[in-house]
Amino acid sequence: MTTRISARFTDLAAQGRPGLVTFITAGDPDTETSLEILRRLPAAGADIIELGVPFTDPMADGPAIQAGGLRALAAGQTLAKTLEMVRAFREGDDATPIVLMGYFNPIYIYGVPRFITDAKAAGVDGLIIVDLPPEEDAELCLPALEAGLDFIRLATPTTDEKRLPTVLAHTAGFVYYVSITGITGSAAPDANAVGTAVARIKQHTALPVAVGFGVRTPAQAAAIAAGADAVVVGSALVEAVRKTLDQDGKATANTVVAVETLVQELAEAVRGVTRQAAE
């Protein structure tokens, strides 16, 4: 089945360049501002968008994304509102892939069958659920795949040769390689080590490999993109939101523009790279 995600990676391969995957937190700092940021990401250069679903216990996320999630929750963001954001985005963009990234609890509370139906109808293309291991595939992964949603799995520096086939068994869309051990935004990745790791993963799968966690600057993004099919930037964009808020934590005239500008800079850097990963 061709999905928006697979179609986008096919396009990137035809262009001979790596992709830029951008992460923002849904509802940060409020639903209206967040939706405007979401709408501007593709034109700014985002090839794929990860939309974070706020959760009260984001164990894989660093301080920046944790804070963004808390801002969103305080502003009243819910999973239902996040799906509504995707639906509103799709009114003007039917091509850019959107991946929901988060934790299983909000989906469990929402109800898995209902969530899958509503996510598909809203225009969601894939899921990254960081706290659902392969051993729990029956909970969400398998029914999501059956409905046509790509289920994207994380591989890490500690995922060894014995574990990797299990991780990849039901992965679809792309593999998300976590470039560091630890939480998001906590350290800078080593581009050489990442290239080696991506090559190792590609010995086990034909799926594209996107690399994230710790990528903050255009220079870092370009260095990582040289050895991957795509690079993921998240914490830096969430920080760009935070730095523009007023003393009450509300959006200002600079909030949307700051994120848009950073994405443009990241995209320019990444698009200057000739992709090696798929050669």
Helices 218-225 & 191-202 angle (0-180, nearest 10): 40
19, 275 in Cβ contact below 8 A? no
Catalytic residue from among 61, 137, 229, 239: 61
Closest CA to 151 of 223, 115, 101, 81: 101
Look-up of token digits 């164990």: 59
Task: Mark whether 91 is an active-site residue.
Answer: no
DSSP state of 21: E
Task: Mark whether 265 is an active-site residue.
Answer: no
Tally the C-alpha atoms within 13 A of residue 121's C-alpha that lie toward its C-beta. Answer: 8
92, 118 in Cβ contact below 8 A? no
DSSP state of 246: -
Q: What angle do CA 196, 63, 22 make, to 5 degrees?
A: 55
Catalytic residue from among 30, 50, 118, 137: 50
Catalytic residue IDs? 50, 61
